[in-house]
Amino acid sequence: MSNLIPPHGGKGLTICLLEGAELEEEKKKAQNLKQIPITPSERGDLIMIGTGGFSPLTGFMKKADWKSVCDNYLLADGTFWPIPVTLSASKEDADSVNEGDEVALYDPEGDEIMATMKVEEKYEMTEENKRYQCEKTFMGEGTPTAEEFWKIAEDEHPGVQKVMNQKQFNLAGPVKVLSESDFPTTYKDIYLRPAESRKIFEDKGWSRIPAMQLRNPMHRSHEYLAKIAIEVSDGVFIHSLVGNLKPGDIPADVRVKCIDVLVENYFVKDRVVQGGYPLDMRYAGPREALLHATFRQNYGCSHMIIGRDHAGVGDFYGMFEAQTIFDKIPYPEEPGKALLCKPLKIDWTFYCHKCDGMASLKTCPHSKEDRVILSGTMLRKSLSEGTPIPDHFGRKEVLDILREYYEGLTEKVEVKLHGAATGDEKKK
């Protein structure tokens, strides 16, 4: 009997990734099916469905699920789910298939068929529907009205841009996944399926396991958050996104090197498990924090570390909105349908010269001028522009890796600072 938290949805891990003879047979069949091209973001979602990371999902959402998730944080059957997981198709492709048809989902970037899908429904995503999804998914306390949101969203929010650029129709139905793309080979040292991370945790005898979401290299604040989590748990799961980010963010292989050197030199190794997962960032702030907790439950994690401006971008969200949203979501009473992975809410952390160490707003009585504000955005900006990095911002070993990376860039993207990066009180 496992001591780990059960997978989300009450159905165990719903694994749609084929293996062995079944895989080879489906690959042959896929060659003769109508091919529907998919985006990198849809590829990541597909792999998560395949490995059970998105349990209990077994395919892309129908319109009733899409609408219920947008409105109520619930699938049509009443299971908690925070963000739509859909597959877009052009009008030409949608017109060429009928409900009940099987299609092959083709990844142009990797030049391979990733899955087959039985099309159970197709529905139009009008401009109005796309805007509706964006307002429900991406609009936060930083832009409290739709008018304020749309003044800047299409120019400055990468998640909004992605949804608004989706094709005209959505195709929905169950999938059979044939490939995990290059993730198992490119990130062979950290890429984990949920069944694999669960096995590691069980072998260690862990049950209280906070997950740490990372899309930036680990600076001192990240390190401090992880160590706080370890103090009150069996160990921490440092779980890095290895899918696509927005321009100017630091690629996964560099971030993994930074984590490796930190774990090697500054952690008790037996208390840390490092993993990678294949999603692209949505930058959906509070809603994405809920998604992070949902799929971390499938990976075996009992808690999700939520600090300031989790999964945020610009000034779209309140500083701790990703924490308070956990207190507002529905918790269905039917077994398995509620989110069980709980937030581990930690206040804004920083290095304080007067405290002579890492601290938070809850423990440090000093002023902003005494603190080194630790932000991934600020770090990227300083490294990109070649400006000095403040003392205590990051470990020397990490900064050496990052400087080497930035020195090798031929093109650099301008990095804009926002409230969460500068210590501006606006977002609090």
Q: What is the pLDDT of residues 212-222, one digit of tens each?
A: 998 877 888 88
Polymer length in residues for the chain: 428
Query: In this model, does residue 89 exceed pLDDT 80?
Result: yes
How far does CA 64 lie from the centroid of its chain? 24
Cα–Cα dist 287/322, whole Å: 7
Where are the extended beta strands (E) located within 77-227? 87-89, 102-107, 112-118, 121-124, 169-177, 210-214
Structure token pair of residue 177: 């996944």
pLDDT at 243: 87
In this structure, are 312 and 350 located in the same domain?
Answer: yes
Which one-letter amino acid corresponds to residue 347?
Answer: D
Query: In this model, does residue 420 exceed pLDDT 90?
Result: no
pLDDT band at 362 (very low <50, low <70, confident <90, very high): very high
Cα–Cα dist 381/413, whole Å: 9
Would you call 95 exposed, middle or buried from its count of C-beta atoms within 10 A (0-12, 13-18, 19+)?
exposed
Cα–Cα dist 239/206, whole Å: 16
pLDDT at 426: 45
Q: What is the mean pLDDT of residues 310-328?
A: 96
Cα–Cα dist 348/363, whole Å: 10
Query: In this model, does residue 271 exceed pLDDT 90?
Result: yes
Query: In this model, does residue 327 exceed pLDDT 90?
Result: yes
Query: In this model, does residue 23 exceed pLDDT 80?
Result: yes
pLDDT band at 378 (very low <50, low <70, confident <90, very high): confident
pLDDT at 408: 85
DSSP-assigned beta bridge partners for residue 171: 87, 122
In this structure, are 245 and 393 located in the same domain?
Answer: yes
Where in the sequence is the domain holding 100, given as residue range(s)?
A: 20-125+166-179
Lowest-confidence pick of 194-198, 290-294, 324-328, 412-416? 412-416
In this structure, are 90 and 227 located in the same domain?
Answer: no
Q: What is the mean pLDDT of residues 1-17?
A: 95
- φ, ψ (nearest 5 deg) of residue 274: -105, 135
Query: In this model, does residue 61 exceed pLDDT 90?
Result: yes
**Crossing angle for the helix pair 127-138 and 63-72, nearest 10 degrees?**
40
pLDDT band at 414 (very low <50, low <70, confident <90, very high): low
Active-site annotation holder among 43, 131, 193, 215: 215
Would you call 260 exposed, middle or buried from its count of C-beta atoms within 10 A (0-12, 13-18, 19+)?
middle
Between 248 and 91, the higher pLDDT residue: 91
- Residue 56: is the preceding peptide bond cis (ω within 30°)? yes
In this structure, are 173 and 223 located in the same domain?
Answer: no
DSSP-assigned beta bridge partners for residue 80: 74
In this structure, are 194 and 330 located in the same domain?
Answer: yes
In this structure, are 320 and 394 located in the same domain?
Answer: yes
pLDDT at 111: 97
> Per the domain annotation, does 120 fall within a domain?
yes
Tens digit of each residue's pLDDT (9 = 90 or more) over 104-127:
999 999 999 999 999 999 999 999
Where are the extended beta strands (E) located within 91-205? 102-107, 112-118, 121-124, 169-177
Cα–Cα dist 181/203, whole Å: 28
Which one-letter amino acid corresponds to residue 385?
Answer: E
Between 265 and 379, the higher pLDDT residue: 265
Query: In this model, does residue 427 exceed pLDDT 50?
Result: no
In this structure, are 100 and 194 located in the same domain?
Answer: no
In this structure, are 282 and 415 located in the same domain?
Answer: yes
Q: What is the mean pLDDT of residues 417-422?
A: 52
| Residue 215 annotated among the catalytic residues of the structure | yes
Tens digit of each residue's pLDDT (9 = 90 or more) over 137-172:
999 999 999 999 999 999 999 999 999 999 999 999
In this structure, are 231 and 173 located in the same domain?
Answer: no
Cα–Cα dist 138/337, whole Å: 24
pLDDT at 409: 82
Active-site annotation holder among 129, 216, 244, 298: 216
Indicate the average pLDDT of the chain.
93
pLDDT at 415: 57
> Per the domain annotation, does 212 fall within a domain?
yes
In this structure, are 173 and 220 located in the same domain?
Answer: no
Per the confidence metrics, is the pTM higher than 0.85?
Answer: yes
Cα–Cα dist 357/359, whole Å: 6
Would you call 170 exposed, middle or buried from its count of C-beta atoms within 10 A (0-12, 13-18, 19+)?
buried
| Residue 216 annotated among the catalytic residues of the structure | yes
Q: Where among 179, 209, 244 does a domain terminate?
A: 179
Alpha carbon separation from 175 to 117, 122, 285 (Å, rounded):
4, 15, 28
In this structure, are 172 and 226 located in the same domain?
Answer: no
Alpha carbon separation from 91 to 38, 97, 333 (Å, rounded):
14, 10, 40
